[in-house]
Chains A and B, each alone.
Chain A
């Protein structure tokens, strides 16, 4: 662990992240699971803040915790036909076990194979102003491509949902 990161807040946030992620999987109630997911997202925003990436933390808070979680909650709450359906039974079938095992093996392999790379250039994260300048000069093309991809996804979703198609 780099000594520039405060240990106590890091440990608290790490426990919150990993513990919350476990609770997402372990809680039988889907609504509770969605709120544990929210807790994980907020804790990750805290980790970004700890790495002095303030802008990234705020975006994480606004986009993932603020918007994606609400979307997840809306989907869960609107698709539950009865309130009791929120409690899901434990699925012990071979297929479920196989999927879980595959995910475990893949993630484990990725973690084992991971070699941390020391960041090039400045040791401190840039502030918002320099980040924005970089995003709209050197990285303008990738930024525009990403926004076009998102726009296409948006238009596609609207088309897919139909609406008042003749």
Chain B
């Protein structure tokens, strides 16, 4: 029975992490964007508007579940789950500390990317099932974008994996402990700076944030693939988007910024999850900063950029770092 209890506890822990993240991130996004736009942001519900997202969740949960008649019923009902379940599963191999991880997989980052490659299918499903031109265009754009940017995303993750010589998140983080020359933290962002920039761009595209939010593009597509959704079905689509933001930043922290380790000093076990979460939220802050500052690209520019610039650059970088790693390790 204790096995089932352990699985149940981990499951509940992951759900709690996901939901709390969602609530915090929505509030944070509003405040950060407001700050960048020289506005105040939510400030009416609770002190500093802190209860705004709670109120939104209550609204989404109690809203009537509307469905337009000409929609494809089966696909329309399935799509939010096809988007949400992978986003949830991607939390499984994320190691908050050496011991705090839902399941210790020796293929951690690969598992995250494999599971998240299901998301565009759900987005296309939502777009098609809605039976609306705007939704379909949004869905197709999202799928085309995510297929294109998945390749540089995977290739950029290869650099740190090659240095660490392992796909295991624990060993990747362990390889980043200590310092170079006594004062530079051994984080892979330094030797893999090109890979990090590719990862940052590609993950921004994968999470569909503003320079790449062609699938939503409020000014042209209203709200893209989630147009016809309301109530908690919309809530699932929305929550998945925010949880993907957390996942992208968390994987980036594990691969490039030394995971749960503090620079220079040894990290006590109780502090590790806090350090990790703080690092992830700093990463998310930068993602939101880009979101608030950059204008939206055109679809053909984005696809051309992915296929003609990012993929060749990341391929050359993989070969180059392979040669250098071989020479250094001799």
Contacts and interface: CB of A to CB of B under 8 A. Distances in A.
Interface of A: 29, 31-32, 35, 38, 42, 54-55, 58-59, 61-62, 65-67, 69-70, 73-74, 77, 83, 127-129
Contacts of A31: 72, 75, 128
A129 B168 CA distance: 10
Interface string B179-206: 0000000000000000000000000000
Given A35-B75, A61-B115, A62-B114, A73 B121 contact: yes
A66 B116 CA distance: 9
Given A32-B75, A35-B75, A129-B166, A58 B107 contact: yes
B117 A66 contact: yes
B114 A61 contact: yes
B106 A128 contact: yes
Interface string B60-86: 000000000000101100100000000
Contacts of B27: none
B308 to A, nearest CB: 13
Given A55-B107, A58-B114, A74 B143 contact: yes
B102 interface: no
A65 B118 contact: yes
Contacts of B115: 61
B174 interface: no
Nearest to B112: A58
Interface string B139-161: 01001100100100000000000
Interface of B: 72, 74-75, 78, 105-107, 110-111, 113-115, 117-118, 120-121, 124-125, 128, 131, 136, 140, 143-144, 147, 150, 166-167
Contacts of A127: 106
Contacts of A62: 110, 113-114, 117
Given A54-B105, A128-B167, A70 B125 contact: no
Nearest to B165: A129
B1 to A, nearest CB: 17
A38 B121 contact: yes
Given A32-B75, A65-B118, A129-B166, A54 B107 contact: yes
Given A32-B74, A35-B125, A66-B150, A61 B118 contact: yes
Contacts of A77: 124, 128, 136, 140
5 contacts: A58-B110, A61-B115, A62-B114, A73-B121, A74-B143
A62 B113 CA distance: 8
Given A35-B121, A42-B118, A66-B114, 11 more contacts: A31-B75, A55-B107, A58-B114, A61-B114, A67-B147, A70-B120, A70-B124, A73-B121, A73-B143, A74-B144, A128-B106
Contacts of B110: 55, 58, 62, 128
A58 B111 contact: yes
Contacts of A69: 121
- Which of B120, B131, B166 has the largest count of A CB atoms less than 10 A from its CB? B120
Nearest to A61: B114
Contacts of A38: 121
A147 B77 CA distance: 40
A69 B72 CA distance: 19
Contacts of A66: 114, 117-118, 120-121, 150
Nearest to B136: A77
Nearest to B144: A74
A41 B118 CA distance: 11
A128 B136 CA distance: 39
Contact of A67 (B75, B117, B125, B166): B117
Contact of A70 (B105, B107, B136, B143): B143
A54 B106 CA distance: 9
Contacts of A32: 74-75
